[in-house]
């Protein structure tokens, strides 16, 4: 493991980013939502475990989910109970933290349709439950949103929101905002038309639904929609920026994380890639895919949109997390969001207006030259544009982007963003494809491989948000496919795909502790204060997801096109780890 140190000077006139006031305060020791707070900082103010003593961390208890597929969920803690959600069949477990070994209190088994596994693009994952109003909310692979009583595990409601026969699945973690549960849809590789929906937390009834493509009435664009850039202004762009009727299978699915500013009453989320991957079949900007929406939380009404990748050429979903921060920018305090995108840029955006303040490269890129800040548009390099039935070689970054779904964390102490990401390139070939409901709608073939250099395919980078530069980087053999956790103990926790769960120094990246789990880690670490007053750290191990499909799906390493080209890069993963599904919880002696 190499650590590349790139010291960044923080000048007096540009102090580091800060967490918004609504995301700070005394830590209650719980972890009730995957992103920890509405700002999605994934930061804990607990500091019993710190840079000095983390080397003594040891296993407190373990728990098997009984499912050996990709474990992408975050363990939640509410009071004296931990909640763990498995991949398909989406079993929710409640563990009693007040008793030795945290025995099982109850389990809830929603029994999703087995056929849903056949339309899961990239493993049968789930990104976790969330808590609110005395209930635990989560989604199932076969398109149900579920609410169960947090104390008893009794089902409160269960509603069907999609159709697996159309290729629709649900894998995203919900977010509770006031009396609503925000949920999204997956299935962009099947020509699914994306949407975000708010459900009444008490009943599961739909309160509003906003599509990612189509006429303004469907997208919930009205008189209060005021995007910053001219290219996002106009009537019914969700139709006119597509060939006739192509928006109906246009993608823009919403399987990432949602953030919320209670002061502005706005939610922020990303929309996925347009369909199909073959961009030649969909000339135009393909609104409102591959970008970021700000919406009124009560009504779903769109306030602004920014398209990170107009006319997406390479499956660069905009679903990655938006972390809400406040920054001093050119002498003014700006309410902002920071968004590390698949296109290789970290965006700093004014979250009140959608104006891009900066867009800085965090990955080697040869497909574009960055953003024109006057127009907000990506400046493409035409030499890497796809060609029908011809292989275009050495495209960087690759289809899962410089960074896929794996969520970053932001330290309220250091002001740095900790980004888990990829270091991959690819060869790409477009081909003609027809839409058939419930079948893959891709029209391109990718073969991925390590980016030029020493062959490492993953990195953990500490990012100076205001100055737009790396502070330090840790290289990993395989993509860093799970999330990160930052704590007041000056620590960053993350796992790698070989199964090492690590703690590094938040200021230098130096490795301070590691533990070898039974399987590769693609989950989201969390930390909490137990009933005994001690701090604990939890992580689910279990390799899978798109990057780990070669192991979780037992794919043939000789087939470089398998898992939509990811197997070409991940052949050695089968020699580095095995399937698994285990919760690990750690504490100091």
Residues with active-site annotation? 189, 273, 315
Quickly list DSSP for 448-478.
EEEPTTTS--EEEEEEETTTTEEEEEEEESS
Quickly list DSSP for 537-574.
EEEEE---TTTTHHHHTT--TT-TTGGGGTHHHHGGGG
Residue 333: burial class (beta carbons within 10 Å; 0-12, 13-18, 19+): exposed
Q: Which residues pair with 346 in a beta bridge?
A: 340, 360
Q: What is the DSSP letter of 212?
A: S
Of the candidates 76, 195, 93, the residue with the CA atom closest to the CA atom of residue 129: 76
Residue 454: burial class (beta carbons within 10 Å; 0-12, 13-18, 19+): exposed
Which residues have C-beta within 8 Å of that of residue 575, sequence separation ≥ 6? none
Which secondary structure element, helix H or strand E, spans residue 335, and what is its range? strand 332-340
Q: Which residues pair with 18 in a beta bridge?
A: 326
Which residues have C-beta within 8 Å of that of residue 570, sequence separation ≥ 6? 478, 547, 548, 550, 557, 563
* Residue that has been written with the tokens 């025995």 in this structure: 103
Which secondary structure element, helix H or strand E, spans residue 218, and what is its range? helix 216-219
Here the tokens at position 122 are 């990239």
For 586, the 3-state DSSP assignment is: strand
Which residues have C-beta within 8 Å of that of residue 310, sequence separation ≥ 6? 231, 285, 286, 290, 377, 378
Which residues have C-beta within 8 Å of that of residue 113, sequence separation ≥ 6? 142, 164
Task: Give the CA distances from residue 394 to residues 264, 317, 397, 447, in Å, rounded to whole numbers and listed in that order.
Answer: 43, 20, 9, 10
For 114, the 3-state DSSP assignment is: helix
E strand segments, 119-255: 130-132, 135-139, 144-149, 155-160, 175-177, 180-184, 195-200, 206-211
How far apart CA 536 and CA 517 sit, in angstroms, is: 17
Q: Note the residue count of the chain.
A: 589
Task: Give the CA distances from residue 409 to residues 13, 460, 543, in Å, rounded to whole numbers and listed in that order.
Answer: 24, 11, 21
How far apart CA 519 and CA 307 sit, in angstroms, is: 37
Of the candidates 114, 260, 236, the residue with the CA atom closest to the CA atom of residue 181: 260
Question: Which of left, alpha, beta for 405 (phi over 0: left; psi -120 to 50: alpha)?
Answer: alpha
For 240, the 3-state DSSP assignment is: helix
Which residues have C-beta within 8 Å of that of residue 433, sequence separation ≥ 6? 276, 278, 281, 441, 442, 443
CA Rg value for the chain: 22
How far apart CA 272 and CA 252 sit, in angstroms, is: 4
Q: Phi, psi at residue 280, to the nearest 5°?
A: -70, -20
């Amino acid at each position: 493991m190499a650590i590349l140190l790139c010291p960044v000077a923080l000048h007096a006139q540009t102090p580091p980013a800060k967490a918004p006031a609504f995301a700070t305060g005394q830590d209650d020791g719980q972890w009730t939502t995957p992103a920890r707070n509405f700002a999605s900082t994934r930061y804990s103010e607990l500091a019993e475990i710190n840079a000095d003593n983390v080397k003594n961390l040891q296993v407190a208890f373990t728990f098997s989910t009984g499912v050996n597929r990709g474990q992408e969920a975050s363990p939640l803690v509410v009071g004296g109970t931990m909640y763990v959600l498995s991949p398909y069949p989406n079993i929710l477990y409640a563990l009693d933290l007040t008793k030795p070994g945290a025995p099982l209190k109850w389990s809830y088994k929603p029994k999703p349709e087995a056929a849903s596994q056949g339309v899961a693009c990239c493993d049968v994952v789930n990104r976790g439950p969330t808590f609110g109003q005395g209930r635990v909310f989560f989604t199932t692979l076969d398109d149900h949103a579920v609410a169960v009583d947090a104390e008893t595990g009794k089902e409160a409601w269960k509603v069907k929101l999609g159709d697996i026969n159309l290729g629709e699945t649900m894998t995203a973690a919900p977010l509770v905002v006031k009396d609503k549960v925000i949920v999204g849809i997956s299935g962009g590789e099947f020509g699914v038309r994306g949407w975000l929906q708010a459900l009444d937390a008490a009943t599961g009834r739909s309160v509003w639904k906003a599509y990612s493509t189509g006429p303004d009435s469907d997208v919930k664009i009205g008189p209060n929609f005021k995007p910053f850039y001219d290219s996002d202004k106009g009537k019914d762009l969700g139709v006119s920026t597509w060939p006739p009727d192509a928006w109906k299978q246009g993608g823009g699915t919403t399987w990432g994380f949602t953030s919320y500013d209670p002061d502005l009453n706005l939610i922020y989320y990303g929309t996925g890639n347009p369909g199909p991957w073959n961009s030649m079949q969909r000339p135009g900007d393909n609104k409102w895919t591959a970008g970021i929406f700000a919406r009124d939380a009560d009504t779903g009404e769109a306030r602004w949109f920014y398209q990170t990748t107009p006319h997406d050429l390479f499956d660069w979903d905009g679903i990655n997390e938006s972390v809400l921060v406040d920054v001093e920018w050119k002498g003014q305090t700006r309410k902002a969001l920071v968004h590390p995108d698949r296109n290789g840029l970290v965006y700093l955006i004014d979250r009140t207006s959608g104006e891009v303040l900066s867009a800085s490269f965090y990955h080697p890129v040869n497909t574009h030259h960055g953003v024109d800040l006057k127009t907000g548009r990506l400046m493409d390099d035409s030499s890497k544009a796809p060609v029908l039935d011809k292989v275009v070689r050495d495209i960087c970054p690759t289809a899962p982007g410089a960074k896929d779904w794996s969520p970053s964390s932001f330290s309220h102490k250091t002001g740095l963003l900790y980004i888990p990401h990829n270091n991959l390139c690819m060869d790409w070939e477009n081909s003609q494809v027809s839409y058939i409901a419930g079948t893959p709608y891709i029209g391109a073939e990718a073969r991925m491989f390590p980016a030029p250099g020493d062959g490492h395919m993953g990195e953990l980078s500490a990012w100076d948000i205001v100055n737009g530069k790396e502070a330090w980087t840790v290289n990993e053999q395989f993509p860093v496919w799970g999330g990160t956790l930052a704590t007041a103990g000056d620590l960053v926790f993350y796992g790698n795909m070989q199964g090492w769960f690590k703690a590094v120094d938040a200021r230098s990246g130096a490795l301070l502790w590691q533990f070898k789990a039974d399987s590769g880690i693609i989950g989201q670490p969390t930390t909490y204060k137990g009933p005994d007053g001690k701090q604990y750290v939890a992580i689910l191990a279990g390799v899978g997801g798109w990057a780990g499909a070669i192991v979780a799906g037992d794919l043939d390493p000789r087939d470089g096109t398998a898992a939509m080209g990811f197997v070409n890069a991940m052949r050695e993963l089968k020699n580095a780890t095995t399937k698994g599904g285990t919760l690990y919880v750690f504490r100091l002696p």
